[in-house]
Structure 1
Amino acid sequence: MKTWLHSWRAAVRIARRDAWRAKGRSSLVLAMIALPILGVSAADLTIRSAELSVPERLERSIGTADAAFRDAGFGGAPLLQTPQGDNAVPEKDDDNTPWPSGTTDPGKVIPADSRWITDTVGGAKLTTVHGLLQTDVRELKADDPIAKGITTLLDGRYPKKADEVIATSAFLERSGLSIGSTVSARNFDRPYRIVGSYELPDTLTTAQITALPGAFLAPYAKAAEKAGAPGPGAATTYLVQRAGGFTWNTVKEINTKGVLVVSRAVLLDPPADSEVPFYQRSGWGDYRSSDGADAMLLASVATVVGLAMLEICLLAGPAFAVGARRSRRQLGLVGANGGSRSHIRAIVLSGGLVIGVSAAVVGTVLALILTLALQPLLEDYLGQRFGAFDVRPLELLGIALLAVLTGLLAAVVPAVTASRQTVLASLTGRRGVRSTSRVLPVLGLIALLLGAAIALYGSVVTDQFVIVAGGSAIAELGVVAMTPALVGLFGRTGRWLPLSPRLALRDAVRNRGRTAPAVAAVLAAVAGTVAVATYTSSSDAQYRAEYTASLPHGAVSFFQMEEGGRDVRAVADAVQRYVSVDTRADVSRVAVGKPGCSAWGEGPGCGRYEVMVPPANVCPMWAPTTDGSDPSLKYTPEQRRTMLRDDWRCKQDEGGGVYVDGGLLVGDARLLKVLGIDAPGAVEALAAGKAVTFQKPLVAKDGTIGIKQITDPKAAEKASMENKPAPGKVVSVPAHLVTSDTKTYGLQVLMTPATAKAAGLGTAPVGAYFSTDRLPDTEQRQKLDAELASIGAGVDLVIEEGYVSDDSIFLLALTVFAGLVTIGAAGIATGLAQADAEADLKTLAAVGAPPRVRRTLSGFQCGVVAAMGVVLGSVAGLLPAVGLRLTEERERIRFHEQTVAEGWGGDLTPPYVPIVVPWETLAALLVAVPLGAALLAALVTRSKGAVARRAAT
């Protein structure tokens, strides 16, 4: 034991001395190992610090209160809840009856010996320097001790009067206001002075103002109702303090009165699952995350870590090998003085140990420093403040041990190779005749064939993504194992190359122990990039084929569904100012009730309408039944397929960009022009006072369409639950049916304002359509967005640009990443080649080779490694992508066939799942990356090198 310890101490001292002497090579390997450790350690520190403890979460949500009481919306009916208070169901859950609904007052169930405050949150459009901004409005006595921790005051003071508010820094930044400014709401002219700024620790980007309880939301709701505008939609939470807190039994008792409770005591000491009735309810027991999901996450993390270690070992291994060869005289002296092969292995392994420990220390220390320094930036990026700076020594130690293990693994093969050198060969510097192993390529070929077979089996037989991915990984490892033999095959092409590339290729083949790992590292990076790029390009082609345009290319539309369309004209004028408009078509909707109602008929005095389908035109599968059962179940799958294919009543409507009920718009012939609808007789029918419809089931036998005006939405909802017709007045409008196969972009019925007026239908502006000469550029879009923000209207603006892929930037990023890894790996291999072949370069200089030969040779050495890795990686990367796409295709086809066989599918067209090879990405990798690597290596290489003296014998 003592001898073993002393020998390793000596080996470590020798390795430390060698690492210090070869500072360049040591720094390179240290950086390769330390960078991943830095990233993983920083990520661990960031995640742990951002992951709040239970007390920290409670402080930010309920302050110092012992519990938060909320109305569950079940009208006071007893309920069951989770211990966290994030979900609840009625205690009586009958599948045949709807859930209870309504409101209840949580304040009535607060124990008498408690102290409480209210926390109410709503919303309003507030005036700003730029116009209007949709903002959260909170009513909370923020300086009360119960509310401590919910808000963080940054500047100024808390409000003390009813006309004072504080605002988040995000609101002040977006609105252009500051402390001392006044703010008011739309339809509510009362001014409020901003007396302070604050932030919400959990949501730094939220635009919010806070007033005293009862100072804003209640009077604003009255003003909005008077103006016919939507109210603030406020919700109130009661923050309660009580001696002894609220136990789980107390929470369940309060649940019987229809109130949801978030208890500090319960969250700090949660009950067992068996004591939670919510988890016993059928269908809700799996509400929490499953162990399978956690296992999948751990498997993904392990895979990423394993691949990272493989990359580092492949790149760092040759560096240790070159270091061992450059120290072969020293290692030979160890053998000449009685050292065994184990001593030589220990010296080389100690090099990996020294570098690994140094990388672990450097990476961990830098991670601590950078995380602390960048914490404010990280908090702003994540949008929330961290909790306590959470350093978990065991996790950091585990990450650091990965660095040590990586260094040791990278030095294993060089250590074994160095120990096999004879003392004579080490002292004389002769390498001897070396042959590559024939076992490794055979094993690699077996792994390649086995992995390809597994991937093929997974994609064709089982349709399991995991099997395809596992088989592809085995195949790629097989290619990595075959790399030395493949490098030898590449060497046979050297006979057709000029001098410099032939020398570079010959050097790469003769030193496969140095070249093969670098090629394998490039192969792995490129294979992953090609796989993802192929899968992404194929998916992008599929999405492009499935894309449904909401408007003709270049057309623009918008809708305002709220406040009776009061801002429609202003928005339409803004669009016309900033967009090159050819034709403008203003449209309205049918309005039921008083002016100012939204399109959904919400609020007192507001109603809605329905476009009726005559009973004779209703598809038999969708016809209502008296008992409320599903009518489609009365038919066999074959009958359902036949009806979907042949019965015109069962044809499904096409999607589009019309957001009003029944696709009914009130406009004129200009709308047809904008949408490109050139249907015979449509314009004449509009002029004759008829409604133009594109849906045959809507037209009755007498050539009219029916529109039902529903003035009591609640009665209509009750009738719908009882499977009865909604009560309302039906008006008939003469109709013209367009039978041609015309794309209508969701428009089903169009009538003129005169026709609607003649039928006794009220209308309200809802939006406009525009045809354009050209698409607006970025500057025009920004100006239009600013104008719409100043108007403050809640509009849904659509500019039809056709299918726009979001993957182009992603593919570019992948290509750049693969290029950087490739150039880095090739550069490392080139640097090692220069260090290893310094004697050959000096010999070239001695025999009169021009200076540029050194630079040219260096460039071709780097280019050769990059080219070999890119070619092999491109071929290896296609296998997993093709396998995954075949799996996805079979899965979609099977689902489609099952849906069609059962008669439920409306679309009988088989799914389109293409396989597209990203030729642009492959071209960039195959041509640009090796060329760039060669040029970069040539530029950074010195042309001249000193002629060495003859070595002493």
Structure 2
Amino acid sequence: MRTWYHSWRAAIRIARRDAWRSKGRSFLVLAMIALPIVGVSAADLTVRSAELSTEQSVSRSLGTADARLTDPGMGGAPVLQSPDGNNYAPAEDYEDQPFPDGDTDLAKALPAGAKALEDRLSQAKLRTAHGLLSTEIRELKATDPMVEGMMPLVGGRLPEKPGEVAATAHFLEESGLRIGSALSARGLDREYTVVGSYELPGALDTNQVNALPGALIDPLDKALVADGMPGLSSDTTLLATAPGGFTWNTVQEMNAKGAVVESRAVALDPPAESEVPLYQKEGWGTWEESTAAKAAALAAVGTVVGLAMLEICLLAGPAFAVGARRSRRQLGLVGANGGDRRHIRAIVLAGGLVIGVAAAVVGTVLGLALTFLLQPVLEDAMGKRFGHFDVRPLELLGIALLAVVTGLLAAIVPAITSSRQSVLASLTGRRGVRRSSRVLPVVGLVAVAVGASIALYGSTMTDQFAIVAGGSAIAELGIVALTPALVGLFGKFGRVLPLSPRLALRDAVRNRGRTAPAVAAVLAAVAGTVAVATYAASDDAQRRADYVAQLPHGAVSVMLPEAGGREAPAVRETVQRLMPVDVRADVDRISVGRASCSLWDDDKDCGYYEVVVPKPNECPLNLVDPARPEEDPAARFTKEERRKLADDWRCKSGRGPGIMTDGGLLVGDEKLLTVLGIDDPQAAAALAAGKPVSFDRRPVDTGGAVSIRLVTDRDAAEKAVNAGKDAPGEIKRLDVHQVTGEPNSYGVDLILPPAAAKAAGMSTVPFGAYYSTDTMPSSEQRQKLDGELDNTGSDVDLVVEEGYVSENSIILLSLTVFAGLITIGAAGIATGLAQADAEADLKTLAAVGAPPRVRRTLSGFQCGVVALMGVVLGSAAGVLPAIGLRLTERRQQHDWYQQALDQGWGPGGVPFVPVVVPWATLAALLVAVPLGAALLAALVTRSRGALARREAS
């Protein structure tokens, strides 16, 4: 008795033998199905391996310690915390009293019998082989058993003496140092020896240096303070062990003493939410991902997987059809020997099953092997070590089943088509009469209409991107369903074409069963590419329009806000020597108080200045009522008044990027105008005559002068400002030349000649310089300059204006290449199928005297026709979602702008949200890709086919 098992067993044997005979076609389909499996399985292994168990996570944070104590900065006041210690709040409400502030004595919070180890972190600039590098400094006795697992040793040993340090491997690589090198810090003459390297498993890209407690941070802090520079700030935590560990009750007892605790015992056995007082506090709770968010994430993943499977099926389906065409005589023999339609379908479906299983095995094995071999590369890319190589068989089995399902789905249409063919047609090679489906085009038209309507509604009536994306996806699927009918419309162009392309087009139209899937595959790939490319080009145009240059193109500026500008002359000369400088304009800044003060120094001996804006020129939206200084000034106006004031010249935001000094004031001469590209003879003449020049009319009073207030008493100034009054200080009034026309001054609003500053009795200190260049500085020049400036030991703010640099060019190129490869691959499959179908026609052409090159030419045009049809339809389908998304963004940004106007300020004018079609990308797809596909197909096709012979009767 024959059962379905025996039928499928025979079908699988036939399919396996056929796949082995047609190795090229089988490998192509296997590769198409296996590649996504490789990627998904590798991603699954990477994600699972990167996930840490609770024990592993705690070990990286605590080593072998039982807990880590952290100071929340509340002066020892009782706190409430979450079990992991990441969230905390005061235990009491401080609505009518000052909020607690100050340090907490962590040692007093420890329970009796506990042992503690201090872990202190700070940040400083260390000298390297290249210059200076901002580095995290850690003082922790790393040889203590409590630290085991936190800082695994890579080479050498851990520090054992005050003059020794260890460094992370990443720091040694960045700094150019190695074990045995001498290490010093900026501001400290003492040198330390690097005796070892280690890594932080959870942060491999961290630049960190470890020293013994008290060996580096305190000496460096004292040296910096003695040199007049800001000292170091540091954070100190305690690693602790105690008999019995730190239970949740122990943690709460320590919370009552003002300490926040990360406990190993609590992490391994967390309390219930009802036992966490913080979660019972009003306004607090646990924030987990909502069901809707999870459903949306699953829907997104499902959509991506579904589209990937659809793409593979569209590409692999014609390839299975090729096999069915080449095996039609074999399938006919099955029918002649008593096999019915289900046996024919089983044989073709078995081909999909065989290829799918092979692709599943190959893809999964390759995914495992690649992830294992590339583990160090993946860890470096993620910046953390794997917990362990985590292989989850059920997940990998599910991923592998996708390959099997995809193979079966891709073989369904060829199986049905082959089973419908009569035995006589299969044995004689006749294809019979094929009729196109009448239902599919109707379904496609409805889907296109519904999808386009949804996308139009989403882009014009709502701000929801999901509606536009969903409508566009429905419309694209509708176009895919319309593909057979659209292929038929292309046939009308055949009458104007020469012989070979006319034959190719007619063949494609007559055999839509093999042409339509390939065209649909190209359509899907090109539509996605065009959609992303259009959106990227539009976004790029918006970013280019919004880009604010800091200087004219190719210009250079260098500023030194610290140490009273004492290093400025040396820095100016360094830039002059290493850059292709044309014009150099030195600039100074006004100094109030001690000359050695930095620009940001808030010491009581360091004052500051203000460029005074006259009351009539101040924006009413910013005027504080002295009687009610806490009130928002804009609240005094109606919505209509705020909209009107937003367009007032007094309330418009400043032009340019802004500079460090108050009021955009620099002390300089007419050379600064040349570097800034401002061609104004009157302004140049005014500066040469010692008269200040203003590019902003707000600080200029009715008498044509500006006032500069010199503030020496910071405490009195702060009290006055808090009361809504002007800060006390001497005011210097200077006549200025007001520049008309509002040229782009790149944030420089007021230029004060040195002679005018001296005449007004204002002290100045060197600040930096501006440079125009003959040519754009090269990357090598920049690197050399950065190294030289690092060696000066100064905090230098260097700007080299390179202009807007597009970040999308590589994206557009990658998309074009991707779409081109998909297009050529799909067109090549369709061409192979066409050659299998048209073998008899080609032999007939040869018999009537057609030259051998006709075979090659016809093959090329067949491939080009499929590619061209797919690219044209895909380009049309891809523009729709991009336009819809951009229109939605335009509505959204205009709404934000209107809300800003309602509040009384306009963020830089009406938003510019253009829709730009990437014509270069479209041209490459419409011209280069079909032409390349045609040429490639023509080159790989033989001019002469096999000799015809009579079939055995």
Question: Shared fold (TM-score greater than 0.5)?
Answer: yes
Q: Does structure 2 conserve the Cα–Cα contact (< 8 Å) formed by 1:611 and 1:708?
A: no
Q: Name the counterpart of 2:787.
A: 786
d(CA) in 1 for partners of 2:594, 2:19: 85
Q: Name the counterpart of 1:110.
A: 110
How has the CA–CA distance of structure 1 residues 62 and 711 changed in structure 2, closer, same or farther, with 3 Å as cutoff? farther
Question: What SS is found at the alignment partner of 1:209?
Answer: strand
Question: What amino acid maps onto 2:780 in structure 1?
Answer: E
CA shift digits 1:799-842 (9 cap, x unpaired): 22333222122111111111111112112222333344344444
d(CA) in 2 for partners of 1:693, 1:253: 63
d(CA) in 1 for partners of 2:553, 2:905: 29
How has the CA–CA distance of structure 1 residues 10 and 384 changed in structure 2, closer, same or farther, with 3 Å as cutoff? same
Greater shift, 636-645 or 468-477, is seen at 636-645
Question: What amino acid maps onto 2:638 in structure 1?
Answer: T
Question: What displacement does 1:161 show?
Answer: 0.6
- 1:503-542 equivalence runs, <5 A: 503-542=503-542
Q: Name the counterpart of 1:822.
A: 823
Q: Name the counterpart of 2:641.
A: 639
TM-score by length of 2: 0.93
Q: Does structure 1 conserve the Cα–Cα contact (< 8 Å) formed by 2:71 and 2:106?
A: yes
How has the CA–CA distance of structure 1 residues 290 and 754 changed in structure 2, closer, same or farther, with 3 Å as cutoff? farther
Residues 1:179 and 2:179 aligned together = yes
Q: Name the counterpart of 2:338.
A: 338
- 1:455-494 equivalence runs, <5 A: 455-494=455-494
Greater shift, 868-877 or 80-89, is seen at 80-89
Q: Does structure 2 conserve the Cα–Cα contact (< 8 Å) formed by 1:133 and 1:792?
A: no
d(CA) in 1 for partners of 2:291, 2:797: 41
Question: What displacement does 1:694 show?
Answer: 3.7
CA shift digits 1:37-92 (9 cap, x unpaired): 01110111112112222222222222222222222233444444443333444445
Q: Name the counterpart of 1:912.
A: 912
d(CA) in 1 for partners of 2:438, 2:162: 86
- 1:831-870 equivalence runs, <5 A: 831-870=832-871
d(CA) in 1 for partners of 2:859, 2:98: 77
Q: Name the counterpart of 2:45.
A: 45
CA shift digits 1:677-731 (9 cap, x unpaired): 4567645655666654444443456744132425546x766766x5455865343
How has the CA–CA distance of structure 1 residues 655 and 942 changed in structure 2, closer, same or farther, with 3 Å as cutoff? same
Q: Does structure 2 conserve the Cα–Cα contact (< 8 Å) formed by 1:11 and 1:346?
A: yes
Question: What displacement does 1:325 show?
Answer: 2.8
Q: Name the counterpart of 1:884.
A: 885
Greater shift, 274-283 or 869-878, is seen at 274-283
Q: Name the counterpart of 1:706.
A: 708
Question: What SS is found at the alignment partner of 1:119?
Answer: strand
Q: Identity percentage over the alignment? A: 65
Q: Name the counterpart of 1:803.
A: 804
Q: Does structure 1 conserve the Cα–Cα contact (< 8 Å) formed by 2:604 and 2:714?
A: no
Question: What amino acid maps onto 2:500 in structure 1?
Answer: S
Q: Name the counterpart of 1:938.
A: 938
How has the CA–CA distance of structure 1 residues 126 and 359 changed in structure 2, closer, same or farther, with 3 Å as cutoff? same
d(CA) in 2 for partners of 1:94, 1:719: 27
Question: What amino acid maps onto 2:426 in structure 1?
Answer: S
Question: What amino acid maps onto 2:879 in structure 1?
Answer: L
CA shift digits 1:602-626 (9 cap, x unpaired): 5675554444444554433222233
Question: What SS is found at the alignment partner of 2:209?
Answer: strand
Question: What SS is found at the alignment partner of 1:432?
Answer: coil
How has the CA–CA distance of structure 1 residues 621 and 90 changed in structure 2, closer, same or farther, with 3 Å as cutoff? farther
d(CA) in 1 for partners of 2:240, 2:607: 40
CA shift digits 1:516-535 (9 cap, x unpaired): 11111111111111111111
Q: Does structure 1 conserve the Cα–Cα contact (< 8 Å) formed by 2:694 and 2:739?
A: no
d(CA) in 2 for partners of 1:908, 1:852: 64
What is the aligned residue count?
A: 949
d(CA) in 2 for partners of 1:871, 1:98: 69
Q: Name the counterpart of 2:198.
A: 198
Q: Does structure 2 conserve the Cα–Cα contact (< 8 Å) formed by 1:717 and 1:726?
A: no
Question: What amino acid maps onto 1:510 in structure 2?
Answer: R
Q: Name the counterpart of 1:58.
A: 58
d(CA) in 2 for partners of 1:258, 1:566: 45
Residues 1:165 and 2:143 aligned together = no
CA shift digits 1:744-789 (9 cap, x unpaired): 2222333244544555554443322112233223333333233334
How has the CA–CA distance of structure 1 residues 674 and 521 changed in structure 2, closer, same or farther, with 3 Å as cutoff? same
Question: What SS is found at the alignment partner of 1:863?
Answer: helix
How has the CA–CA distance of structure 1 residues 770 and 268 changed in structure 2, closer, same or farther, with 3 Å as cutoff? same
d(CA) in 2 for partners of 1:659, 1:277: 47
Q: Name the counterpart of 1:732.
A: 732
d(CA) in 2 for partners of 1:98, 1:839: 94
- 1:74-113 equivalence runs, <5 A: 74-91=74-91, 100-113=100-113
- 1:347-746 equivalence runs, <5 A: 347-592=347-592, 594=594, 596-602=596-602, 606-615=606-615, 617-625=617-625, 626-627=627-628, 628-646=630-648, 648-677=649-678, 682-683=683-684, 686=687, 691-699=692-700, 703-712=705-714, 722-725=722-725, 729-736=729-736, 738=738, 740-742=740-742, 743-746=744-747
Greater shift, 774-783 or 401-410, is seen at 774-783
CA shift digits 1:486-506 (9 cap, x unpaired): 112212222222232222222
Q: Does structure 2 conserve the Cα–Cα contact (< 8 Å) formed by 1:127 and 1:184?
A: yes
d(CA) in 1 for partners of 2:790, 2:51: 35
Question: What amino acid maps onto 1:913 in structure 2?
Answer: V
Unaligned runs of 5+ in 1: none
Q: Does structure 2 conserve the Cα–Cα contact (< 8 Å) formed by 1:613 and 1:706?
A: no
d(CA) in 2 for partners of 1:253, 1:756: 63
CA shift digits 1:843-868 (9 cap, x unpaired): 44455543322222222221111111
d(CA) in 1 for partners of 2:512, 2:167: 66
Question: What SS is found at the alignment partner of 2:374?
Answer: helix
Question: What displacement does 1:257 show?
Answer: 3.9
Question: What SS is found at the alignment partner of 1:584?
Answer: strand
How has the CA–CA distance of structure 1 residues 851 and 783 changed in structure 2, closer, same or farther, with 3 Å as cutoff? farther
How has the CA–CA distance of structure 1 residues 495 and 540 changed in structure 2, closer, same or farther, with 3 Å as cutoff? same
CA shift digits 1:188-224 (9 cap, x unpaired): 0101011112222222222222111110010000001
Question: What amino acid maps onto 2:410 in structure 1?
Answer: A
Question: What amino acid maps onto 1:787 in structure 2?
Answer: E
Question: What amino acid maps onto 2:559 in structure 1?
Answer: F
Greater shift, 416-425 or 370-379, is seen at 416-425
How has the CA–CA distance of structure 1 residues 795 and 933 changed in structure 2, closer, same or farther, with 3 Å as cutoff? farther
RMSD: 2.8
Question: What displacement does 1:429 show?
Answer: 2.8
d(CA) in 1 for partners of 2:88, 2:590: 38
Greater shift, 171-180 or 558-567, is seen at 558-567
d(CA) in 2 for partners of 1:397, 1:156: 44
d(CA) in 2 for partners of 1:88, 1:515: 64
Q: Does structure 2 conserve the Cα–Cα contact (< 8 Å) formed by 1:451 and 1:473?
A: yes
Greater shift, 140-149 or 20-29, is seen at 20-29
How has the CA–CA distance of structure 1 residues 393 and 224 changed in structure 2, closer, same or farther, with 3 Å as cutoff? same
d(CA) in 2 for partners of 1:67, 1:457: 56
CA shift digits 1:572-619 (9 cap, x unpaired): 223222322222222233344545544222567555444444455443
How has the CA–CA distance of structure 1 residues 276 and 935 changed in structure 2, closer, same or farther, with 3 Å as cutoff? farther
Question: What displacement does 1:951 show?
Answer: 1.7
d(CA) in 2 for partners of 1:752, 1:343: 96
Question: What displacement does 1:313 show?
Answer: 0.2
Q: Name the counterpart of 1:265.
A: 265
d(CA) in 2 for partners of 1:270, 1:780: 57
d(CA) in 2 for partners of 1:770, 1:411: 68
d(CA) in 2 for partners of 1:186, 1:923: 56
TM-score by length of 1: 0.93
